[in-house]
Amino acid sequence: MKLQKATRYGLYAVLELAANPDEQLSATDIAAAYGISGNHLAKVLRDLGRAGLVDSARGAGGGYRFSGNARRVTLLDVISLFEDISSDTGSGDGADTEIGRALDLVLGEIDDIARATFGSITIETLLKTMRWRQEREARAAAPDLASPG
Amino acid sequence: MTDDTTLLANDNATRHATGDGEADVLVRRATANDLPLVIELDGDNTGLHKPDYWGETFHETERHPGQHFLIAESASSDHEFLGFIVGEVRAWEFGSRPCGWILTIGVVHERRVAGVGSALFDAICERFAADGVKTVRTMLARHDQLNMSFFRSQGMMAGSFIELEKPID
Ligand SMILES: CC(C)(COP(=O)(O)OP(=O)(O)OC[C@H]1O[C@@H](n2cnc3c(N)ncnc32)[C@H](O)[C@@H]1OP(=O)(O)O)[C@@H](O)C(=O)NCCC(=O)NCCS
């Protein structure tokens, strides 16, 4: 699945800010961490601000903070701000043929799974799952240090 | 994961701290006395009243090791019924190594989003681990946002199997 650049940048920004709730990060900080364009990210952050997902503080030390509810905002909520991943079936050249319809059924199935997946993963769940994975990898790398349970 | 899981005497009951100042939850094996409340809660959740099914499920889980029917109740003196979970170890189904299946879960409406579901999930995973399995699995309707969000929040992701089906005419 390939997301547009703005969508990916939006997800990076939201997840980075939500993972560091006590810090204010500038567009430059986030852009540097992900090796992406600061200008493009600044525009994405403005879109996230309009949607109420990030807050910006002006002045020295100013930056962005995540202002949504990490336990309820899903990946789909963020993605939908930047692109429409709903099925585009039933339209376009050849869609109204037997083969076009059969093909759309398969494409629709894939899109449906993608939407259900993004719609069920909250920001908190993604960060939590990432931390679990890191802990498991650390335990696997140093089994002697692992604490039981 | 719960921070404070203490094995209590009798019946393998486990105590789970739900965090955020919520009361602790006790998770224990079901008894026949729990069935009316389970049947009622399941009826609310699924819209189907199935006393025979629950009676049979209870007797099966009593008979077979690796099958678990657990009840969550408040750890305070009133032992208020909070919810249930049912699961079992299945081996070599669809060519899969033995793994724990969660077949159903339910938490009383007024006690939701307070960590009870997570306590039940942790408790059944502990029992599956004691049975020697390393993976826990479940099956959900794709559009069942509530259950999907819940199981995802427990760290579950799509596995390597996919369900396929077809109407038989
Ligand atoms: C799914 C269910 C078991 C969850 O129980 P619960 O005690 O509310 O779960 P928890 O409080 O442990 O919640 C854990 C996480 O699940 C997710 N979650 C639970 N309820 C949610 C809701 N209404 N909306 C979004 N996410 C939710 C959250 O990520 C939550 O973490 P948070 O509290 O940090 O936000 C409960 O809602 C239920 O019984 N639903 C009906 C079950 C059903 O349909 N059964 C029949 C078929 S199996």
The answer to whether position B158 is within a domain reads: no
* Residue B112, in any domain of the structure: yes
Whether B114 is in a domain gets the answer yes
Go through the domains of chain A in sequence order and give each one's CATH number.
5-85+122-129 (1.10.10.10)
> Is B126 within a domain?
yes
Chain B, nearest residue to A120 by Cα:
B149
The residues facing A25 across adjacent strands are: A64
Could you report the per-residue pLDDT of A89-131, keeping only the tens digit for each? 777 888 899 999 999 999 999 999 999 999 999 999 999 999 9
* Tens place of pLDDT per residue across chain B (169 aa): 444 444 444 456 888 877 655 558 999 999 999 999 999 999 999 999 999 999 999 999 999 999 999 999 999 889 999 999 999 999 988 888 999 999 999 999 999 999 999 999 999 999 999 999 999 999 999 999 999 999 999 999 999 999 999 999 8
- The answer to whether B125 and A132 have CB atoms below 8 angstroms apart is no
| B contacts of A149 (beta carbons < 8 Å) | 5
Within a domain: residue B137? Answer: yes
Full residue range of the structural domain in which residue B77 is found = 5-143
Inside any domain, residue B163: no
| CATH number, domain with residue B95 | 3.40.630.30
Determine whether the interchain pair A116/B157 forms a contact, defined as Cβ–Cβ distance below 8 Å.
Answer: no
B159 lies in some domain: no
Q: What percent of chain A has pLDDT over 70?
A: 94
User: Looking at ligand 1, which residue's alpha carbon is closest to its atom 16?
Assistant: B150
Say if the Cβ atoms of B155 and A132 lie within 8 Å. Answer: yes
pLDDT per residue as tens digits for the range B20-53: 555 589 999 999 999 999 999 999 999 999 999 9
Q: What is the pLDDT of residue B55?
A: 97
Assess whether the C-beta atom of B153 lies below 6 angstroms from ligand 1: yes
Whether residue A7 has pLDDT greater than 90: yes
Identify the closest residue of chain B to A125 by CA–CA distance: B153
The half-sphere exposure of B14 on its side-chain side, counting CA atoms within 13 A, is 19
Q: Residue B161: what residue type?
A: F
Domain total for chain B?
1
Whether B98 is in a domain gets the answer yes
Is pTM beyond 0.95? Reply is no
Q: Which residues contact B14 (CB under 8 A, 6 or more apart)?
A: B5, B6, B7, B8, B26, B27, B28, B123, B126
